[in-house]
């Protein structure tokens, strides 16, 4: 069997479990980018079996380049490629055309095409995805959209996403709810929770507005938000405006998984007004239901792990509607046990959003 060549624009820290499993079970060679458009924590590439070299990210006017990728692209011993499916990367285009003439197999791993765009972009998307032999997508929304745009169903598979499932499973099995919020807030209010980047586009201001609406109805809540400020977000003035200082807690950056597990199993609802992304997998893994927005065309694909009414809810982006959904879920909690809700949260993660599921999908396609 010839080696599988992986060319990825980055090696994010959260991808370590699946990449190391690929190295073990597929004997892949890895070529990984040194950075990308936004700062993202990476794992130590040298510790990955099969790591062959760094690719230097170079931003151009209309695209970007991964310097060093041409060497593995033109290497005769590679017959199968698994690559970042980004239309903005020059070397991926070169690989797709080169493979077309040399009968090499190219599989894209990407978000895919999931929203309307200009005629020019549509033409480029159609060409880009049709040149690929197979496309691994993070979610069904993109798959269904691409079907409507003429991309063959036979060349698309949902691979979903994953975090460090084995580590988190051990913590899930041993971590019990604590009084961490009661100790901090000195009250017994329901605990709303957010973890992720503290950015304006995450719309945490909507949570503060929703808390104010609930308080006007006599329902007091706490809100803990965990993460590093990467924007100059201004929710502090809103918190002061509504006198919510005593029921809000900016926890700060958190990289300790054990502490994260404790917070999540102890909270009541994860609120992510903006795009949910990896936060969905973190929350559901630890049995924490989610409320996020219902603009699926712009959502991150992990929203698909939410089964409305079972392990979370969607709201229309408005603070009043968010307050109503929080109220609904608090009532739902009164009629269902914490274990029932937790089991509904675990289900999609245990079934699909984990490296074990992903490696089965990869083997089925790459080893054909």
223: left (phi over 0), alpha (psi -120 to 50) or beta: beta
For residue 60, the model assigns a pLDDT of 87
- Among 15, 94, 10, residue whose Cα is nearest residue 354: 15
For residue 321, the model assigns a pLDDT of 98
Separation CA 161–CA 143 (nearest Å): 15
Residue 174, Cβ neighbours under 10 Å: how many? 9
Among 3.30.70.20, 1.20.272.10, 3.50.50.60, 3.40.50.2000, name the CATH number for the domain at 166-351: 3.40.50.2000
Helix (H, G, I), strand (E, B) or coil at 338: helix
What is the DSSP track for 273-305?
SS--TTHHHHHHHTT--EEEE--TTTS-GGGGG
Burial 292-302 (b: 16+ CB within 10 A, else e): bbeeeeebbbb
Find tokens 């073990």 and name the residue: 24
For residue 368, the model assigns a pLDDT of 81
197-212 per-position pLDDT tens digit: 898 889 999 999 999 9
Helix (H, G, I), strand (E, B) or coil at 110: strand
Instruction: Give me the residues of the chain with pLDDT under 50, please.
Output: none
* Residues 59, 159, 154: CA angle, nearest 5 degrees: 100
Number of helices (H) and strands (E), helices first, in the chain? Answer: 14, 14
For residue 233, the model assigns a pLDDT of 79
Fold assignment, 4-162+353-366: Rossmann fold (3.40.50)
CA-to-CA separations, 358 to 103, 300, 348, in angstroms, rounded: 26, 18, 13
Q: Which two tokens stand for residue 81?
A: 């490629």
For residue 106, the model assigns a pLDDT of 98
For residue 116, the model assigns a pLDDT of 86
Q: Which part of the chain has CATH 3.40.50.2000? A: 4-162+353-366, 166-351
For residue 170, the model assigns a pLDDT of 98
For residue 1, the model assigns a pLDDT of 54
For residue 232, the model assigns a pLDDT of 74
Q: pTM of the prediction?
A: 0.94
Given the DSSP bridges, would you call strands 51-59 and 29-33 parallel, antiparallel or unpaired? parallel
CB within 8 A of 290, min separation 6: which ones?
269, 270, 271, 272, 276, 279, 280, 283, 284, 306, 311, 312, 313
Residue 217, Cβ neighbours under 10 Å: how many? 10
Helix (H, G, I), strand (E, B) or coil at 226: strand
For residue 202, the model assigns a pLDDT of 92
- Among 147, 117, 116, residue whose Cα is nearest residue 129: 147
Whether the Cβ atoms of residue 264 and residue 193 lie closer than 8 Å to each other: yes
Separation CA 66–CA 86 (nearest Å): 12
* Residues 299, 318, 288: CA angle, nearest 5 degrees: 60
Separation CA 196–CA 194 (nearest Å): 7
């Amino acid at each position: 069997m010839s080696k599988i060549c992986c060319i990825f624009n980055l090696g994010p820290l959260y991808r370590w479990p699946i990449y190391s499993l690929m190295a073990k079970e597929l004997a892949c060679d890895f070529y990984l980018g040194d950075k990308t458009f936004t700062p993202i924590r990476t794992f130590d590439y040298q510790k990955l079996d099969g790591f062959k070299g760094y690719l230097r990210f170079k931003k151009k006017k209309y695209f970007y380049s991964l310097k060093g990728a041409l060497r593995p692209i033109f290497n005769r011993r590679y017959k199968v490629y698994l690559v970042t499916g980004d239309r903005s990367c020059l070397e991926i285009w070169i690989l797709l055309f080169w493979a077309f003439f040399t009968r090499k197999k190219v599989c894209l791993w990407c978000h895919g095409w999931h929203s309307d765009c200009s005629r020019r972009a549509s033409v480029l998307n159609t060409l880009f995805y049709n040149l690929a032999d197979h496309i691994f997508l993070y979610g069904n929304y993109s798959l269904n959209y691409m079907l409507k745009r003429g991309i063959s169903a036979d060349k698309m598979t949902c691979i979903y996403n994953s975090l460090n499932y084995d580590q988190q499973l051990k913590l899930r099995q041993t971590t019990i709810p604590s009084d961490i919020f009661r100790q901090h807030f000195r009250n017994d209010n329901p605990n709303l929770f957010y973890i992720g980047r503290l950015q304006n586009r995450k719309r945490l201001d909507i949570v503060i507005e929703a808390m104010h609406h609930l308080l006007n109805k006599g329902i007091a809540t706490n809100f803990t938000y965990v993460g590093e400020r990467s924007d100059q977000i201004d929710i502090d003035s809103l918190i002061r405006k509504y006198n919510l200082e005593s029921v809000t807690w900016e926890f700060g950056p958190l990289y300790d998984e054990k502490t994260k597990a404790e917070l999540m199993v102890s909270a009541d609802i994860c609120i992510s007004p903006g795009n949910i992304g990896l936060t969905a997998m973190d929350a559901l893994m630890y049995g924490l239901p989610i409320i996020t927005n219902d603009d699926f065309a712009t959502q991150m694909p992990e929203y698909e792990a939410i089964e409305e009414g079972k392990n979370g809810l969607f709201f229309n982006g408005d603070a009043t509607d968010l307050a109503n959904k929080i109220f609904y879920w608090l009532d739902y909690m009164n009629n269902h046990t914490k274990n029932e809700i937790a089991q509904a949260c675990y289900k999609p993660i245990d079934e699909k959003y984990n490296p074990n599921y992903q490696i089965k999908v990869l083997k089925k396609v790459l080893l054909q």
